[in-house]
């Protein structure tokens, strides 16, 4: 019985972490904002125990900072953080593309292509949340296809801290269309197992993301919260 209770509790923790992760990435919890346990517990209709466990998971992922005397705070990056993070990510994604083109299986290519078409459909609906979820899954799949555990771990840790920034770059129509075009180029290069082109397109894609994020930061358009989300029961 104790084991069943533990599994159920862990399942709820994962659900809470998934919801908070979405709120953090989509900017519904603003960068630098304190995660108020009482308010979040009410919004999510859960007790504080699974909430605290979920926050610990997000801290391990780099989406939340645990600060002395302040508690959990949504990660807030400076311009220098953005410059440095995207500079490294561009190199890691380029390497992922080059290795993935060499090592990816036919079945993995088919799965990535399916996600690509789903992403295009989300773009046509202007469903930014679904688009970003599929977009992130494609980048993660390319990274996984590189089949290098050190590369995968390094990429995952750095990428986690800039997810909310990557999400915001698609709120500009022209930039969003450019990102879609670049993803189409990625799929073409992957299908042809052209590692040089795939690596180059991925690196350019990340540099465009970096430039857009910096523009938004300097214009004061990143850093505020979006509308309050609904509870898990909603």
Block means of pLDDT (10 residues each) for the chain, 234 residues, are 43 92 89 93 93 93 88 92 95 97 97 98 95 95 97 93 85 90 98 97 96 89 51 33
Q: What is the pLDDT of residue 9?
A: 52
Q: Structural domain boundaries of the chain?
A: 2-74, 79-218
Query: Rounded to an integer, what distance in angstroms lies between the CA atom of residue 138 and that of residue 110?
Result: 12
Q: Cα dist. 208→174, 201, 205 in Å?
A: 12, 10, 5
CA dist., res. 41 & res. 52, Å (int): 10
Query: For the whole model, what pTM was predicted?
Result: 0.79
Counts of helices then strands in the chain (DSSP H, E):
10, 2
Q: How far is it, in rounded angstroms, from Cα 96 to Cα 84?
A: 18
pLDDT of residue 221: 75
Q: 79-218 in CATH: which number?
A: 1.20.120.530
Would you state the CATH architecture of domain 2-74? Orthogonal Bundle (1.10)
- pLDDT at residue 4, rounded to an integer: 35
Q: Give the model's pLDDT for residue 160.
A: 87
């Amino acid at each position: 019985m104790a084991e069943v209770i533990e599994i159920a509790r862990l399942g709820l923790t994962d659900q809470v972490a998934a919801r908070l992760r979405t709120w953090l990435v989509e900017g519904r919890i603003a960068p630098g904002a304190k995660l108020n346990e009482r308010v979040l517990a009410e919004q999510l209709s859960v007790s504080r125990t699974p909430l605290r466990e979920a926050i610990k998971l997000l801290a391990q992922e780099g989406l939340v900072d645990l600060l002395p005397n302040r508690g959990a705070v949504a990660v807030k990056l400076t311009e220098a953080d953005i410059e440095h993070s995207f500079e490294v990510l561009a190199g890691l994604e380029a390497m992922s593309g080059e290795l993935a083109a060499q090592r990816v299986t036919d079945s993995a290519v088919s799965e990535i292509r399916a996600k690509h078409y789903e992403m295009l459909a989300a773009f046509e609906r202007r469903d930014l949340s679904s688009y970003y979820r599929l977009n992130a899954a494609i980048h993660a799949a390319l990274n996984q296809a590189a089949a290098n555990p050190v590369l995968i771990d390094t990429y995952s840790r750095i990428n986690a801290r800039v997810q909310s920034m990557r999400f915001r770059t698609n709120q500009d129509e022209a930039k969003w269309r450019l990102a879609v075009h670049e993803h189409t180029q990625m799929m073409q290069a992957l299908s042809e197992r052209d590692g040089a082109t795939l690596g180059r397109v991925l690196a350019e894609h990340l540099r465009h993301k970096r430039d857009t994020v910096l523009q938004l930061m300097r214009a004061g358009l990143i850093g505020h919260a979006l509308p309050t989300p609904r509870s898990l029961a909603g």
